Amino acid sequence: MKEISAKEVQQRIENGEKLNLIDVREVDEVQAGHISGIVHIPLGLIKFHIHELDNNKPYIIVCRSGARSGQATQYLESQGYDAANMTGGMLAWEGEVE
């Protein structure tokens, strides 16, 4: 499974890079604070929304600590998607949140 650090994601965003971020936390967690520009798809619903994703784009998967995003990353990879788990999740995030 591919992984990317929260710090690297933050640096890429600050450098103006447009990233495809999917937050797999629950609604209340996302409402409490999330990275700007995320797509919110709760982990339990990812298989129902996979058709909305572009198989030609890389995705970075985010959750609270990195566990649920790891599950989502493995699932997406098994379906042929280019996905990377943001290690440490939002607990490791030091950038701005909405």
Which residue numbers are catalytic?
63
Q: Distance between CA 18 and CA 91 in Å, rounded?
A: 22
Q: Let me know the angle formed at the C-alpha of 18 by 76 and 32, rounded to the nearest 5 degrees.
A: 75
Q: CA dist 8 to 29, 39, 50, 79, Å?
A: 22, 19, 25, 25
Assess contact for 63 and 89: CB atoms under 8 A.
yes
